[in-house]
Structure 1
Amino acid sequence: MLLKLYKMDLSPPAGAALMICEIHKIPVEMIDVDLIKQENLKPEYQEKNPLHTIPLLEDDDLIIHDSHAILTYLTDKYGKDESLYPKDLKKRAQVDQKLFFDTLLFHRFRSITYSAIFEGLRKPTEKQLKDLDEAYSFLDAFLSKTKFIAGDNMTIADVSILASVAAIRHIIPIDGNKYPHVQSWFTHMSNQSFFKNCAEPGSITLGEILKARLDLMPLKLYKMDISPPVCAALMICDIHNVPVEKIDVNFLKLEQFKPDYVKKNPIHTVPLLEDDDLSIHDSHVILTYLTEKYGKDESLYPKDLKKRAQVDQKLFLDTLIFFRMRAITTPAFFEGARKPTEKQLKDLEEAYKFLEAFLSKTKFVAGDNMTIADISLLATFNAVRYIIPMDFTKYPKVHDWFSHMKSQSFYKKIIEPVTAELEKIVKEILDL
């Protein structure tokens, strides 16, 4: 009777079972069980395996629900020699204890991935990551004494731990400087045909899923708190609860011109967002990107083309207004030009007229619901008002909109703490 192996390719324990079947050339019927769709919770599967885990091996009347036991059973039954699982008691004990060690590795890995896939927890705790990194240190200590996990020859312990490490590296990459023995061992093992044929495809799929569901590499936001575009980016991070590492760049000290920063952002502006290999140097694109990636719904940035166009054109309007303001502040900061021209002030006040006209038709800037356009323009007008005060008699709609936006928690948390400093700097550099 043909053996049956219930599996899901992206599962590390299933990957180990698949590799051992390949190594021993075992004829086996493969049956897929999709954990993400919770097919493992179906009554007929739970009757076979009350733990509802994979892999599950059926050999006639025998059911084995643990991957390590599957490896020992299949190797004892089909192995051509005892090299992978020695019969010598002392050597076998070395292998067995590393199989139990693999249970620890996988448990630490699963504590992160289960929460991400089934509970929506995108950010592992520091302890979880520390525990997982510690597992590498254990493994490196073992491999500093022997070429393979349980001695100088490959055993089923290597096969089992290979599957686990291939998954763990998607959360914490193997640092060859810290763990050179692990790196060397993994390079050798991952080049074996049984890994490439049986475990690598599932591992790649798993990596893609984890990248989508976990915030593993913290986003980096280069910022200066009084900058309006930075305030907009910080507010959207607060709204979406985006985990981000904040790195200060002091424009007044010209830190934006340092070679390492110019290399990241040739136009040497802030904010700058780094997300893995992606760099975004425009605040409006940062708002759209983070809202697309982290937004719980599409209210802030609609997918409907007509509604999105309304938002997009107001983001470009914000660019126009910001550059009118910057035409005054940049010469004041860096050239000592304390007195704006009449045209500069007239152009900046015209921005209030533009906004008043739009807000006379809709409650918010791009419609009747708040969008990222409101967030961006809020940050800009918060700065503009210190050059040209907001006249509520001339611009009542702008005043009402601004008052409403100021009452939001993201404004109070991000902008309110820096308003006094911003106002002070404007008064110091400009004769208004």
Structure 2
Amino acid sequence: MVKLYKLDASPPARACMMACDLFSVPAEMVDCNIIVGEHMTPDFLKKNPTHTIPVLEDGDLIIHDSHAILMYLADVYGKQDSLYPKDLKQRALVNQKMFFNSSILFPRLRNISSPLLLEGAKPTEKQYKAIDEAYGFLEEFLSRNKYVAGNKMTIADIAAYATSSTLGIMLELDVKKYPKIEAWHKEMAKQSFAQKQNAAGRQEFKRVYDDLMSKMVKLYKLNGSPPARACMMACDLFNVPAEMVDCNILTGEHMTPDFLKKNPLHTIPVLEDGDLIIHDSHAILMYLADVYGKQDSLYPKDLKQRALVNQKMFFNSSILFPRLRNITYPLFIEGAKPTEKLYKAIDEAYGFLEEFLSRNKYLAGNNMTIADIAAYATSSSLGILLELDVKKYPKIEAWHKEMAKQSFAQKQNAAGNQELKRLYDNLMSK
């Protein structure tokens, strides 16, 4: 009897479980719970140094890739040649789709599930788009044949179905857009091996996935928005398990009834954490620092030090950001060009900021705080409207360079700032 080390929620493991059922393999199913680290024990690592599941053990033979396992089981136990053809040309087509699952379909599932499960990191819009792209590839294959590798079911269908049926948990299949996938799903779901070996494990995966997703906060944002970018930087810095939800105010997404229930002011960003909704970037930064911050220096518990940070947060809220918004809002919404007076107001704000930075390395002292994150998001964008005179404001320039070096700023501020610049320059040129 062979041994199959598996986890029911794992699509690759379920593919092998389905194959064992289909081929009537005399297999002992051994649960290996990666969530509690059973795949990292010395004994398991001897079997599979890459510490993945499934693993098939057949005497002294150990195979630790689901696709290789499927091929082996088909060759040894398969009675129907059609499931893994002996004809080399037909077999090549099956192998091709096995590698499609290995290199395209499954990685787009794992790119979401692994960070979510192990790090609490929520999926990005880009990752969801990658799944939709994979659906497109699969739809095209199924538009040519009834099954993935031809007009007869093969082990490639078993591998891809285990993955694809699970991808639908992350990104619901648009049945109008992908009717061939929907028909194939229904055909595969009717098979007894799928009902016995895939359905329950898929539901287990869904339960874990939905539970983890429900624990994450949502941040409604627009990359070009400085307040949104401040919160995005904080999420990155504090390792907040946050789902980033784009809300395009230029197309009116902030004025929908659903969004107005969250924020009657129809501004972004908005943070949603269960039944708590916060709709001011500064309040969001404070909350994230209190809940997720591990470094006390970023938002000190000492009340005197915290007061200095709060003071600079309100400086950003009442002086820095309004002088940016007084130009961007009329320009973006009404097409009104800035006046000289508005540019002078920005220069005056630079003067205030330079004075603060002449007293300390950072805004509220000699350690970076959330006040620096808020003000940097604004100030780096103000430079798009009125270029900073580095000779007149050397402290701001030095502070800008220091903040720009931070990984959270490089990942969450730089691109959005360029997006704001592109939009501003385009509107000003008209």
- TM-score range (shorter-chain normalised) is 0.5 to 0.7
Q: TM-score, normalised by structure 1?
A: 0.58
Contact 1:220 1:246 in 2 (8 A): yes
Cross-structure match for 1:404: 364
Contact 1:167 1:203 in 2 (8 A): yes
Contact 1:14 1:67 in 2 (8 A): yes
SS in 1 for 2:248: strand
Cross-structure match for 1:9: 8
- Deviation sequence 1:141-168 (CA, Å, 0-9, x none): 2100111112223222111111122333
Counting matched residue pairs gives: 335
SS in 2 for 1:53: coil
Matches within 5 A, 1:54-93: 54-79=53-78, 81-93=80-92
Q: CA RMSD in A?
A: 5.2
Contact 1:236 1:287 in 2 (8 A): yes
Give yes or no for the alignment of 1:221 onto 2:217.
Answer: no
How many Å separate the matches in 2 of 1:275 and 1:136?
30
Q: Once the 2 structures are TM-superposed, how far is the Cα of residue 300 of structure 1 from its aligned partner?
A: 11
Cross-structure match for 1:393: none
Contact 1:269 1:281 in 2 (8 A): no
Cross-structure match for 1:21: 20
Cross-structure match for 2:306: 364
Cross-structure match for 1:198: 197
Identical columns (%): 31
CA distance 1:280–1:261, shift in 2 (3 Å)? farther
CA distance 1:43–1:262, shift in 2 (3 Å)? closer
How many Å separate the matches in 2 of 1:286 and 1:82?
65
Cross-structure match for 1:413: 376
Q: TM-score, normalised by structure 2?
A: 0.58
Task: Return the letter of the residue paired with 1:364.
Answer: R
CA distance 1:167–1:223, shift in 2 (3 Å)? closer
Contact 2:316 2:375 in 1 (8 A): no
Contact 1:83 1:153 in 2 (8 A): yes
SS in 1 for 2:144: coil
SS in 2 for 1:144: helix
CA distance 1:108–1:193, shift in 2 (3 Å)? same
How many Å separate the matches in 2 of 1:204 and 1:296?
34
SS in 2 for 1:183: helix
Cross-structure match for 1:270: 266
SS in 2 for 1:31: strand
How many Å separate the matches in 1 of 2:280 and 2:250?
15
SS in 2 for 1:102: helix
CA distance 1:119–1:101, shift in 2 (3 Å)? same
How many Å separate the matches in 2 of 1:111 and 1:66?
17
Q: Once the 2 structures are TM-superposed, how far is the Cα of residue 291 of structure 1 from its aligned partner?
A: 2.8
- Deviation sequence 1:280-306 (CA, Å, 0-9, x none): 47549983997399824496999xxxx
Q: Once the 2 structures are TM-superposed, how far is the Cα of residue 6 of structure 1 from its aligned partner?
A: 0.7
Contact 2:14 2:201 in 1 (8 A): yes
Contact 2:271 2:284 in 1 (8 A): no
How many Å separate the matches in 1 of 2:264 and 2:213?
32
Cross-structure match for 1:30: 29
How many Å separate the matches in 1 of 2:245 and 2:178?
27
Of Structure 1 and Structure 2, which has the larger fraction of its residues in helix?
A: 2
How many Å separate the matches in 2 of 1:195 and 1:286?
49
How many Å separate the matches in 2 of 1:279 and 1:22?
47
